[in-house]
Amino acid sequence: MKILVPIKRVVDFNVKVRVKPDGSGVDTANVKMSMNPFDEIAVEEAVRLKERGVATEVVAVSCGVAACQETLRTALAIGADRAILVQADGELEPLAVAKLVAAVAKKEAPQLVILGKQAIDDDANQVGQMVAALLDWPQATFASKVEVAGGKATVKREVDGGLETVELELPAVITTDLRLNEPRYATLPNIMKAKKKPLETLDPAGLGVDVSPRLSTLKVAEPPARKGGGKVADVAELVAKLRNEAKVLP
């Protein structure tokens, strides 16, 4: 069984994101970039399925600029067998990414596509669902446990009311939640081995996908700074402020 794992290169989660002075977007100059944490969980889950003998090959795919090769090498160091970069300059919208991933899936014919439920930069939470729709495959989102056997995937997923268990016929699309696993660290020997693993580069035109933007960003702004709190002398003053200023007491 082959597993396809789409991953995204994003600003590292430890970095404080800053908006460009002109408000045109987020400043990424000289900023540390890393693999999207949810996608890292997806890579780990795919590698674990391979280690259990369920999968035979794990293929990582990323869409974006040439620098995404670094992110793909990280996936290879974690345990992916090979990687594919769909190189495209400029910003890619979720629908364009979904079309590219679907085109790669048709080319590679995997039995399972596992990816993060969302990226931490745009928080769109759209690509997984769009890929499933474009491929007309069953999907399970927000997975916290995945089991694959007998041509089916059993997924325990997190919903507002608790947990829900669904069974999918393969091929299928699964998006990962935080509690699915804890990704391993890429060891130095595996990082060195990853440099020798195959990394194929494709282009959107070759896949027959138009990635022209459909949306335009008018302005990006930081949220307003929170106002500092104040101190009260006693309970009576607190109650008075809640009643007269905050208007939360009758």
Q: What is the pLDDT of residues 159-208, one digit of tens each?
A: 888 899 999 999 999 999 999 999 999 999 999 999 999 999 999 999 99
The CATH number that applies at residue 173 is 3.40.50.620
CA angle 201-177-122, nearest 5°? 60
Task: Measure Cα distances from 148 to 35, 137, 205 in Å.
Answer: 25, 16, 34
Count of alpha carbons within 13 angstroms of residue 85, beta-carbon side: 20
In a domain, 250, yes or no: no
Residue range 152-158: mean pLDDT, rounded: 94
In a domain, 193, yes or no: yes
In a domain, 178, yes or no: yes
Share of the chain above pLDDT 70, in %: 100
Q: What is the pLDDT of residue 25?
A: 83
Domain that holds residue 136: 2-244
Q: What is the pLDDT of residue 31?
A: 87
Q: What is the pLDDT of residue 14?
A: 87
In a domain, 108, yes or no: yes
Whether 53 shows a pLDDT value over 90: the answer reads: yes
- The two beta strands, 139-149 and 152-159, are antiparallel
Residue range 55-82: mean pLDDT, rounded: 95
Quote the crossing angle between the two packed helices 68-78 and 37-51, to the nearest 10°.
30
**Model confidence, pTM:** 0.85
Task: Measure Cα distances from 236 to 89, 190, 245 in Å.
Answer: 61, 63, 14
Q: Please give the tally of structural domains in the chain.
A: 1
In a domain, 112, yes or no: yes
Residue range 36-43: mean pLDDT, rounded: 96
Mean pLDDT of the chain: 92
In a domain, 218, yes or no: yes
Amino acid residing at 228:
G
Q: What is the pLDDT of residue 161?
A: 85
In a domain, 115, yes or no: yes
In a domain, 110, yes or no: yes
